[in-house]
């Protein structure tokens, strides 16, 4: 009996060490700046919505790590295509390999592959290009883009700007009942944050804004 109890205690000790080893130390993120340019002309694009997503990976005991987004901030580019996010300090957490990624959005555009070229990626220069494709392809892109980061209520509030702009563009493309339903649900999720659940439900069932 004692032998079995000792094995359990030893296992618990090793498990604690494993979990503690996964804890990340506080991370300091300096201010970051970047630019958004047109792929063809290399000219700056203003009023582009830029979302910064702080994320990392979480271990679940012996299960493979999965990525998580724990904080988001939103800004827009100025007339020179510049954007910036201030410095921040993250507390200790169970996340490791933490990074900050970006999502950029402007109606009628998509992210260009030039964004991911080594020199541009290093210098935080983002490129957009005019979207060329079908109505269905644009809708699929916008619905995917809307799924940015799930987390705390504050995170969701920081996404309202880009979500409202995506909804405004989607309105020009929806045709089928299924597409209209998805649009209404998206609008309802935004209004829950803006007006509260009761008002959002009332507007949803009355079809306000459709």
Residue 2 is inside which H or E element, if any?
helix 2-22
3-class secondary structure, 58: strand
**Residue ranges of the domains in the chain?**
24-132, 133-210
Which residues, other chains included, contact 127 with Cβ-Cβ below 8 Å and sequence gap of 6+? 36, 37, 38, 39, 111, 112, 114, 115, 120
Per-residue pLDDT of the chain (210 residues; tens, 9 = 90+): 555 555 555 445 444 444 444 444 667 778 989 999 999 999 999 999 999 988 777 766 556 566 677 788 999 999 999 999 998 887 656 667 777 889 999 999 999 999 999 999 999 999 999 999 999 999 999 988 876 665 555 677 888 899 999 999 999 999 999 999 989 888 888 888 888 888 888 888 876 555
CB-based contact 70:93 (threshold 8 Å): yes
Residue with tokens 């799924």: 147
Q: Which residues are 60's β-sheet partners?
A: 63
Length of the chain: 210
Report, at the CATH architecture level, how domain 24-132 is classified.
Sandwich (2.60)
DSSP 113: G
Which residues, other chains included, contact 158 with Cβ-Cβ below 8 Å and sequence gap of 6+? 51, 72, 73, 74
Burial of 157 (0-12, 13-18, 19+ CB in 10 A): middle
Q: What is the pTM of this model?
A: 0.77
**Closest Cα partner for 138 from 174, 98, 102, 96?**
174
């Amino acid at each position: 009996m004692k032998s079995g109890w000792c094995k359990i205690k030893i296992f618990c000790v090793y498990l604690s060490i494993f979990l503690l080893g996964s804890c990340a130390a506080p991370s300091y993120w300096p201010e970051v700046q970047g630019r958004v340019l047109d792929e063809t002309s290399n000219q700056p694009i203003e009023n582009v919505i830029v979302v910064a997503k702080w994320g990392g990976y979480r271990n679940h005991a012996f299960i493979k790590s999965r990525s998580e987004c724990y904080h988001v901030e939103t800004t827009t580019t100025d007339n020179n295509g510049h954007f910036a996010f201030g410095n921040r300090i993250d507390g200790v957490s169970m996340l490791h390999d933490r990074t900050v990624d970006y999502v950029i959005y402007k109606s009628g555009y998509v992210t260009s592959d030039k964004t991911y070229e080594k020199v541009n990626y290093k210098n935080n220069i983002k490129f957009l290009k005019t979207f060329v494709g079908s109505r269905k392809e644009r809708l699929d892109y916008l619905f995917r883009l809307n799924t940015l980061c799930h987390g705390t209520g504050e995170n969701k509030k920081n996404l309202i700007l880009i979500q409202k702009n995506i909804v405004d563009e989607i309105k020009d493309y929806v045709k089928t009942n299924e597409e209209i339903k998805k649009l209404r649900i998206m609008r309802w999720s935004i209004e829950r944050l803006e007006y509260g659940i009761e008002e959002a439900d009332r507007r949803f069932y009355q079809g306000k804004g459709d």
